[in-house]
Amino acid sequence: MAAVGGEDNGASDGGECHDLKSILAGDERDFLIHNNGDQVPVSELIGKNILLYFSAQWCGPCRAFLPKLIEEYKKIKDKDSAFEVVFISSDEDQNSFEDFFSGMPWLALPFGDVRKKSLSRLFKIRGIPSLVAIGPTGKTVTTDAKLLLLIHGADAYPFTEERIKELVENKEKTGEEQEETKEGYVCDGDVCRKA
């Protein structure tokens, strides 16, 4: 993970609720952008599950993580259209931002937007890539969605404690059943017998 800022990464902000409009829009700008330049009002994200994707082209781990994020984004989006990712860039120039963002199927805060610094402070982003999950009510679900996505893929969605607990319990049950089956029978080719 590449270092950015000086705060603790992964630390929750206590599950506080945020008005998306107040954290993603400014006095002069109340929109996000698609990679084709189209503007999307921040108000269109209200009531959706959002991942804030802190990243940059110059960051090797970010470039390595991007294909996985795109793959899982498409799976989640197929299941729930009320889901969106917002790219928050730490790129150093407009060209790097545009080049990196051109391969992303989601929205972004425009390059150089002053909100990037306040978002990094608010969510205690210390390194990139980082994913922060915000629920439909504006509540911070987790500041460690990247890890959950890497472990569970799209199944981690919507990244709540309840969902992760359910996945872990199901995995444990499946593992127990597999162990019971292994210990219960011995197979030799097409012939199986009780152990």
Residues 73-101 have pLDDT tens digits of: 999 999 999 999 999 999 999 999 999 99
Is residue 137 one of the residues assigned to a domain?
A: yes
CA 152 to the chain's CA centroid: 12
Contact 52, 88 (CB under 8 A): yes
- pLDDT at position 192, please? 54
- pLDDT top residue among 180 and 51: 51
Is residue 82 one of the residues assigned to a domain?
A: yes
Q: How confident is the model at residue 13 (pLDDT cuts 50, 70, 90)?
A: very low
pLDDT average, residue stretch 173-191: 52
- pLDDT at position 178, please? 45
Is residue 195 one of the residues assigned to a domain?
A: no
pTM above 0.85, yes or no: no
Tell me the CATH number at 17. Answer: 3.40.30.10
CA distances from 41 to 32, 45, 97, 168, 172 (A): 6, 8, 20, 37, 43
Contact 7, 127 (CB under 8 A): no
Is residue 171 one of the residues assigned to a domain?
A: no
β-strand pairing of 31-33 with 39-41: antiparallel
Is residue 177 one of the residues assigned to a domain?
A: no
Is residue 190 one of the residues assigned to a domain?
A: no
Evaluate if residue 190 carries a pLDDT over 60.
no
* Domain with 14 in it: 2-159
Q: How confident is the model at residue 38 (pLDDT cuts 50, 70, 90)?
A: very high
Number of structural domains in the chain: 1
- pLDDT top residue among 22 and 8: 22
Is residue 166 one of the residues assigned to a domain?
A: no
CA distances from 3 to 8, 13, 16, 74 (A): 10, 19, 25, 28
- pLDDT at position 183, please? 46
Is residue 85 one of the residues assigned to a domain?
A: yes
- pLDDT at position 5, please? 36
The residues near 137 (Cβ < 8 Å, ≥ 6 apart) are 17
